């Protein structure tokens, strides 16, 4: 065993440690679960991460269900998992792409919880319960780690498998009875490689463990090394010769620039600096490496005198191998940016363990020195170990928890891109939208998660005002989705106001503290045939309508579409009456149509946005062919379908309950 707790007897340890372990583990996992599950389905059905739909679509392609997209060079392990989950979900329903993503995110969270438990266990093996608390708390609460554990991507499973491989190697080194675990360590590392190729350095801890076993038992050690080499050779040959790993994008970068990048001191330094970044952002990056180095040197020195008081050098070597080789190998295709962090975090699984064990070991050695100068034992322990832990809580864990909680709160907010796609489904006719890059996949049925039955195309423009509204129309566009800030800027200039005057605003999605995604204004690229400004009952405003033909005649059927706005949220699901009557006798109805203002999907009680223009469905009114000469009018109003009560037209002192749409004068001859 690498670590013992000398101040507890075996009987006391059996009576106290196990309950403490259960409580400790449950607390850590509960913390990790809350931070990950809160808002885990953010943005859905919009697919926020660019890779989430890629993996789902590749799995669907491999299953023969939807041949839209595949990357034949993707590591197969995660695609296999996707295929299995999709098959189970398909057996119970007809899920859409966002449904697969939602379930796969839960699997990613489960993998993150497993990684937290494994890291805590590994740290316990090297430094006891204090080290387990430090390492587990870091992985449970660090915002970058929490964020990386949420998406339906391979990364959370790579972290799980790499940390498990490291733990198996450490256990094989610590316990002679578990020597065969060195082989399992390599097998798990190969599984991690099948999930994501850059995890291949994770096989090194298993090899180190086999060498330690070799020093104890030559026959068993050689057997383990030969079996490990055979497994690596078989998997490697299959990946290169059968599966075709060379087709992978990162593999292409590795082939063309890999050696040059991996030998670049600047790129290597950038990636190694990011290993400790999640521990406390940039402030402790170098301190993290310093503590790891100091702890390793101290462990080697202590072990020479008191072997049971410090970790085995083989275990330290296994951690260092993961911590250094994974970010180093990642430089062959990516380095020094936010995208690189997800490829470096597998190395961080070892870094948090080594850092935590180093802090505890330094504290214990310091406590021993304090006792030598006369400080009481408990006082020395609390000063050397309790003090640093308290500093860790105050300066790291609590601030990181606050940040992680704030970020989880942001994830609970609705996403404007999901709202935009959902609203368009019920409010707009199919057409092509001019959008900026912020909405480049909002209406994409496959990569954006759009679930509607209507088909919308998008045209991505750097600047939606690069053409006039008329030119956009001539190019086949129907709608324009303008960034809200740009619309505000246009309102400040004469030219901008002139541009906006040729657009018909449909919906404003303004900035809001509790929203995700871009704020936009949606315009239609042409206005109604007729403009109006009639308010009914102080609740609903008619702002215009389309009418074909423009000059109706007896026997013709009119096609009418009305445009509405809520003045306030309507108090009832009002209906529209449209009557053709003699000019002087409104009670004599010659033709009529009654309908809901917009559609059954947008009844007036659902009108909650005062800045929205609601476009009604096309309605029809047939003018009798046998009308005698005279003057006729089309009257439109709103009424309660149940009670028959009509809404007054505002400004008419309640004397008028309708407006005149058009007049039809028929003369003799």
* CATH code 2.60.40.2550 region(s) in the chain: 530-666
Only one residue has tokens 């605003």, namely: 505
- Please, which residues have CB within 8 angstroms of residue 571's CB and are 6 or more apart in sequence? 539
Query: DSSP label at 623?
Result: P
Instruction: Please give the DSSP secondary-structure letter assigned to residue 393.
Output: I
Q: Report the pLDDT value the prediction gives residue 281, as an integer from 0 to 100.
A: 55
The pLDDT of residue 264 is 84
The parts of the chain modelled with pLDDT lower than 50 are 1-15, 282
* Torsion angle defined by CA atoms of residues 134, 139, 143 and 147, in that order, rounded to the nearest 10 degrees: 180
Residue with tokens 């990181």: 400
Residue 446 main-chain phi, psi, to 5 deg: -105, -50
User: pTM for this structure?
Assistant: 0.87
For the record, the structure tokens of 588 come out as: 């004599």
| The pLDDT of residue 380 | 64
Among residues 145, 48, 147, 36, which one has the least CA distance to residue 101?
A: 48
**String of DSSP letters for 84-121:** HHHHHHHHTS---HHHHHHHHHHHHHHHHHHHHHHHHH
Q: Which residue has the tokens 């935009």?
A: 420
The Cα-based distances of 602 to 427, 541, 568, 596 in angstroms read 8, 15, 15, 9
Helix, strand, coil percentages (3-state) for the chain, rounded to 5, are 55, 15, 30
For 530-666, CATH gives 2.60.40.2550
pLDDT at 180 (0 to 100): 96
Report residue 257 as tokens: 């620039």
Among residues 395, 403, 381, 298, the alpha carbon closest in space to that of 130 is found at: 381
What lies within 8 Å, CB to CB, of 437 at 6+ separation is 460, 462
């Amino acid at each position: 065993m690498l670590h013992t707790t000398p101040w507890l007897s075996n009987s006391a340890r059996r009576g106290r440690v196990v309950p403490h372990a259960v409580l400790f583990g449950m607390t850590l996992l509960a913390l990790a679960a809350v931070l990950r599950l809160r808002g885990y389905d953010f943005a859905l059905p919009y697919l926020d991460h660019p890779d989430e739909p890629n993996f789902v679509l590749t799995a669907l392609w491999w299953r023969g269900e939807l041949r839209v997209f595949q990357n034949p060079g993707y590591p197969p392990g995660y695609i296999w998992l996707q295929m299995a989950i999709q098959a189970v979900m398909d057996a119970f329903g007809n899920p859409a792409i966002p449904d697969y993503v939602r379930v796969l995110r839960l699997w990613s969270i489960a993998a993150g919880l497993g990684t937290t438990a494994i890291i805590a266990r590994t740290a316990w093996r090297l430094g006891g319960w204090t080290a387990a608390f430090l390492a587990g708390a870091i992985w449970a609460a660090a915002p970058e780690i929490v964020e990386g554990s949420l998406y339906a991507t391979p990364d959370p499973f790579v972290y799980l498998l790499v940390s498990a491989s490291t733990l198996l190697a450490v256990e094989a080194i610590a316990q002679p009875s578990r020597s065969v675990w060195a082989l399992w360590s390599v097998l798990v590392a190969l599984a991690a490689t099948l999930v994501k190729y850059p995890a291949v350095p994770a096989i090194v801890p298993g090899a180190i463990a086999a060498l330690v076993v070799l020093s104890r038992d030559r026959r068993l050690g050689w057997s383990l090394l030969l079996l490990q080499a055979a497994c690596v050779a078989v998997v490697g040959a299959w990946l290169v010769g059968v599966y075709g790993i060379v087709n992978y994008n990162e593999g292409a970068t590795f082939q063309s620039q890999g050696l040059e990048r991996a030998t670049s001191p600047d790129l290597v330094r950038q990636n190694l600096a990011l290993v400790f970044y999640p521990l406390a952002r940039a402030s402790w990056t170098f301190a993290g490496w310093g503590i790891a180095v100091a702890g390793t040197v101290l462990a080697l020195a202590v072990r020479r005198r008191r072997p049971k008081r410090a970790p085995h050098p083989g275990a330290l070597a296994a951690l260092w191998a993961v911590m250094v080789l994974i970010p180093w190998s990642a430089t062959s295709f990516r380095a020094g940016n936010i995208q690189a962090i997800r490829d470096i975090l597998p190395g961080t699984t070892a870094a948090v363990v080594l850092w935590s064990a180093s802090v505890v070991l330094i504290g214990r050695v310091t406590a021993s020195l304090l006792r030598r100068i006369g400080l009481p034992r408990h006082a020395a322990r609390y000063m050397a170990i309790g003090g640093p832990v308290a500093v860790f809580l105050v300066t790291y864990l609590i601030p990181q928890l606050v940040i992680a909680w704030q970020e989880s709160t942001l994830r609970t907010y609705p996403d404007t891109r999901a709202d935009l796609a959902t609203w368009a489904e019920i409010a707009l006719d199919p057409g092509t939208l001019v959008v900026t890059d912020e909405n480049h996949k909002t209406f994409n049925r496959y990569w954006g998660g759009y679930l509607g039955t209507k088909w919308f195309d998008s045209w991505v423009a750097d600047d939606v005002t690069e053409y006039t509204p008329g030119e956009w129309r001539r190019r086949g566009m129907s709608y324009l989705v303008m960034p809200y800030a740009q619309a505000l800027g246009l309102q400040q200039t004469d030219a901008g106001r002139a541009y906006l005057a040729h657009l018909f605003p449909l919906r404003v999605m303004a900035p809001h503290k509790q929203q995700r995604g871009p704020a936009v204004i949606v315009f239609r690229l042409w206005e109604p045939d007729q403009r109006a400004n009639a308010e009914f009952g102080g609740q609903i405003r008619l702002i215009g309508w389309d009418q074909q033909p423009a000059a109706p005649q007896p026997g013709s059927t009119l096609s009418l579409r009305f445009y509405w706005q809520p003045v306030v949220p309507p108090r009832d699901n009002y209906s529209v009456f449209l009557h053709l009557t003699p000019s002087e006798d409104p009670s004599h109805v010659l033709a009529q149509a009654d309908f809901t203002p917009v559609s059954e999907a947008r009844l007036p009680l659902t009108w909650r946005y005062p800045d929205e223009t609601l476009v009604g469905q096309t309605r029809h009114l047939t003018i009798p062919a046998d009308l005698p000469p005279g003057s006729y009018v089309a009257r439109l109003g709103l009424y309660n379908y149940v009670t028959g009560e009509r809404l007054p037209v505002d400004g008419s002192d309640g004397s008028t309950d309708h407006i005149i749409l058009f007049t039809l004068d028929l003369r003799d001859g």
